[in-house]
Structure 1
C-alpha cells in the first residue's frame, strides 16, 4: 500500500488516534486550539481545510499548512443573534491570532439560517449546536472538526467517519444542493494532492 494510504481501511479508533497525533504535531493548529480554549468560546470547533489539508500534507510529506488559506473556527452562541455580537467575536479572534501565518476565520453557527437564504438562494433550518453544521458540508470528507478540552483531551467530531479523508477520497454529501462547491473544492485539492479521488456528485 502506498505510504499516504497507511491509515486507510483501519478501524475508527486507529484513525482517530492518527488524526490526534497529526493535530498535536501541528504547531499552528495547537496554538489556535489552546487560544480558543482560553477564550472560552462557546461550543467551538476547528474544522474544514485546516484539518483535512493537514492530514493530506502530513501523509504526502508536504508542509502542514499546504493548501490552507485560513483556519475555520465555528462556534454556537444563541444568546445574541445580532451581527454586531458575532462581529465582536470575529474581531476578538482576529486580534488574538494576528501573529499567525494564516488568518483565523470564525462564524457563529446559531446565525447561519439568518443569512443563508440571501447568500445561497434557499432556506435552511436553524442549527441546535456547532457539530450539526458538519452535516451540511458539501463533502462528507471535509466534515471533520476538533476541540481541545480543559483536561487536554482532543474531541474529534466526524459524523461521516474518517475513512474518506484517510483514503484521499472526496465524497459528496447530498444534504444540500452543494454540487458546485463539492467539485470546486475537489478540483482545487487535486492540483495540490494528485493522489486524491473526487467522487462525482
Structure 2
C-alpha cells in the first residue's frame, strides 16, 4: 500500500505549474519555506472528485520561518517579486515567526509548528523542493484528512466559532460535494 506522503509527492509531480512554482519559491532561499494550504488542498480535492485540473485557489500561500527578520514589509516585497515574475496576483507570503501575534497564540517554533495551529487539519499541508530536486512534505497532522476528504478543526485551533465561520464562508461543500465537514 502506498504511503499517503508518497501519494502526495506523486500527485504533485504530475502538476507542472505547481512544480514550476515550487522551483521559483526554492530560489528565494527562505528558511523552512513551503507552498501550502489551498494550492495543494484544492488540487488534491479536484483529483479526488475526478475534476479536470482547474485553478481553484484564491491565493498561493508561501510560508516560511525566520525569527531573525519578522518585518511584514519583507513579505510584501517577496510577494511583489513573485507577482512580477509570474504575472499572478494571488501570491501571499507570510513569515510564520510573527504570525502568532495575529493569531493570539504563543510564538511558533517552526513552520511545522505554525501549520499545526492553522484552523483546519486538511489545510495544514505544505510542499517544497529541496536542493536535490526532491519533494519534501510538511503535514503536522498527517494526510489522512486530505485524502479522506474530511474537513475538521485542528486540535490546536481553539476558536471553534472562527473555524465554523471560515468553513461556511469558503463554501467548499458546494465545489467539492464529497467532503465531510465536521462542525465539532
TM-score (norm 2): 0.88
* CA shift digits 1:60-86 (9 cap, x unpaired): 222334531111110112222223333
* CA shift digits 1:9-40 (9 cap, x unpaired): xx6x5211211111111122111101011221
Residue correspondence of structure 1 range 1-201 to structure 2 within 5 A: 14-98=3-87, 100=88, 103-114=90-101, 116=102, 123-187=104-168, 188-201=171-184
- Gaps in structure 1 of 5+ consecutive residues: 1-10
Please give the root-mean-square deviation of Cα atoms over the aligned residues, in Å.
Answer: 2.0
* CA shift digits 1:142-188 (9 cap, x unpaired): 21111111101111111111111111111211323332443345441
Give 1:190 deviation, angstroms. 0.5
Decide whether the 8 Å contact of 2:76 with 2:93 is kept in 1: no
Change (3 A) 1:90 1:33: same
TM-score (norm 1): 0.81
Helix, strand or coil: the match of 1:127?
A: coil
Change (3 A) 1:42 1:94: farther
The separation in 2 between residues aligned to 1:50 and 1:165, in whole angstroms, is 12
Max radius of gyration: which structure?
A: 1
Decide whether the 8 Å contact of 2:119 with 2:154 is kept in 1: yes
